[in-house]
Structure 1
Amino acid sequence: MKKYLSIFFIGLIILFSFQHPAGASKEQKKAEPAPAPEQKSITVPNSVLQITKENTYPNPVQDMPTLQPSELTQKLIDSSKVKIENPDLIRMLNETTVNSTPFAIGYRAIIYLGQWPLNYESAETSPNWEYQKINTNYFDNRGGNAPYQIHYVQEAQKIVRGGLTAKVPNTEDVKKMMLLKAMEKSGLPLNFETIIGAGTKKDHKYNIPQKRLGYLYGYAPAVNEKGKVTYGEVYLMLKGSKKMIIVKNVTSQGVGAWIPIQDHVSFGFFASERPR
Structure 2
Amino acid sequence: MLSFLPFAKAEKQQEKAEQPPKQTISVPSSVMNIAKDNTYPNPHVDMPRLEPSDLTKELIESSKVKIENPDLIRMLNETTVNSTPFALGYRAIVYLGQWPLNYESVETAPNWEYQKINTNYFDNRGGNSPYQIHYVQEAQKIIRGGLTAKVANTEEVKNMMMIKAMQKSGLPLSFETIIGGGTKKDQIYNVPPKMLGYLHAYAPAVNEKGKVTYGEVYLMLKGGKKMIVIKNVTSQGISAWIPIQDHVSFGFMASEHPR
In the superposition, the TM-score normalised over structure 1's length comes to 0.85
Contact 2:23 / 2:171 at 8 angstroms: preserved in 1?
A: no
CA distance in 1 between counterparts of 2:23 and 2:176 reads: 24
Structure 1 gaps, min length 5: 1-38
Query: Aligned Cα RMSD in Å?
Result: 1.1
Give runs of aligned pairs for residues 184-223 of structure 1, distance below 5 A: 184-223=167-206
257-266 or 62-71, which deviates more: 62-71
Give yes or no for the alignment of 1:113 onto 2:93.
Answer: no
Secondary structure at 2:76 match in 1: helix
2:146 alignment counterpart: 163
Give runs of aligned pairs for residues 35-114 of structure 1, distance below 5 A: 41-114=24-97
Q: Report which of the two structures shows the higher radius of gyration computed on alpha carbons.
A: 1
Q: Please state how far the C-alpha of 1:55 moved relative to its aligned partner.
A: 0.2
In the superposition, the TM-score normalised over structure 2's length comes to 0.91
Q: Please state how far the C-alpha of 1:83 moved relative to its aligned partner.
A: 0.2
Deviation beyond 3 Å, 4+ runs, structure 1 = none
Q: Please state how far the C-alpha of 1:145 moved relative to its aligned partner.
A: 1.4
Identify the match of residue 125 of structure 2 among 126, 138, 142: 142
Q: Please state how far the C-alpha of 1:235 moved relative to its aligned partner.
A: 0.1
2:219 alignment counterpart: 236
CA distance in 2 between counterparts of 1:102 and 1:67 reads: 30
Structure 2 gaps, min length 5: 1-21
Task: Work out the number of aligned pairs and report it.
Answer: 239
2:18 alignment counterpart: none
Q: Taking every aligned residue pair, what percent have the same amino acid on both sides?
A: 81
CA-to-partner distance for each residue in 1:158-185, whole Å, 9 max, x for gaps? 0000000000111011000000000000
Secondary structure at 1:78 match in 2: helix
Give yes or no for the alignment of 1:260 onto 2:243.
Answer: yes
2:166 alignment counterpart: 183
Contact 2:42 / 2:178 at 8 angstroms: preserved in 1?
A: yes
CA distance in 2 between counterparts of 1:182 and 1:258 reads: 10
Give runs of aligned pairs for residues 17-36 of structure 1, distance below 5 A: none
Closer, same or farther in 2 for the Cα pair 1:141/1:40, shift >3 Å?
closer
Secondary structure at 1:268 match in 2: strand
CA distance in 2 between counterparts of 1:68 and 1:45 reads: 36
CA distance in 1 between counterparts of 2:111 and 2:140 reads: 21
